[in-house]
């Protein structure tokens, strides 16, 4: 691990804000299928992360749609025979610790340090042992149906709203289109239309703000 010469606390804060701004907390996903939800992020050896790193990785996994709980450094993946796919972006996590220095009076003093390092989710890595990957939950037909009045309301907005079996809700900037999972996979109609309304706000934001570099804004 190498010490990175930037404000670690600001880097972690910015990372959390960006992830939450692009997505929602995994325990609030109102439809079935796709990512596993609120799985706690784990180190490569299965040990749970703690403190702020849990929130950082949890938020990133939610916005990116990762289904696996384990996170590894580039070298850890390589040691296990894995290969980080080209173009994948790492996440910053931070390790806090102490070290001792000699004080002015010759006594030992403890000082705190924070060291950042980069990790990748198992979903970004090929050829890891099977135990490192978590299988996404299958979508379930819960019988939820569309509401005619709500459909009319959203149709009147003029937004391009499409649905497919893909278990993700997002606004595609490139296509100016909202994608929704099938309504019958939602726990209730309120969850479906609440999600649709959220994506519609991204649609509206892009009409009054400069275009973002990302292709998708994901719930």
pLDDT value for 95: 83
How confident is the model at residue 51, as a pLDDT? Answer: 82
The CA-atom distances, in angstroms, between 160 and each of 104, 173, 177, 178 are 69, 12, 5, 6
Q: How many CB atoms are located within 10 Å of the residue 212 CB?
A: 13
pLDDT at position 212: 44
Interhelix angle 148-155/189-208, nearest 10 degrees? 10
Name the nearest CA neighbour of 215 among 163, 180, 177, 159.
Answer: 177
* pLDDT tens, position by position, 152-172: 999 999 999 999 998 888 888
Mean pLDDT confidence for 129-145: 89
**Tokens coding 193:** 């239309």
pLDDT at 4 over 80: no
Global confidence as pTM = 0.56
């Amino acid at each position: 691990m190498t010490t990175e010469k930037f404000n670690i606390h600001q880097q972690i804060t910015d990372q959390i804000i960006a992830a939450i701004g692009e997505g929602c907390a995994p325990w609030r996903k109102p439809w079935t299928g796709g990512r596993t939800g609120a799985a706690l992020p784990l180190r490569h050896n299965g040990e749970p992360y703690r403190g702020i790193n849990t929130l950082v990785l949890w938020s990133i996994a939610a916005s990116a749609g990762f289904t696996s709980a384990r996170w590894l450094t580039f070298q850890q993946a390589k040691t296990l025979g894995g290969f980080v796919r080209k173009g994948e972006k790492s996440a910053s996590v931070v390790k806090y610790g102490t070290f001792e220095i000699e004080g002015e009076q010759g006594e030992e003093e403890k000082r705190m340090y924070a060291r950042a390092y980069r990790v990748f989710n198992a979903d970004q890595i090929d050829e890891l042992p099977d135990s490192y990957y978590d299988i996404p939950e299958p979508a379930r037909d819960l019988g939820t149906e569309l509401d005619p009045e709500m459909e009319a309301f959203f149709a009147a907005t003029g937004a391009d709203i499409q649905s497919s079996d893909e278990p993700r809700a997002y606004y595609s900037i490139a296509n100016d289109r909202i994608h929704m999972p099938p309504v019958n996979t939602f726990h209730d109609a309120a969850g479906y239309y609440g999600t649709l309304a959220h994506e519609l706000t991204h649609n509206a934001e892009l009409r009054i703000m400069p275009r973002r570099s990302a292709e998708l804004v994901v719930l």
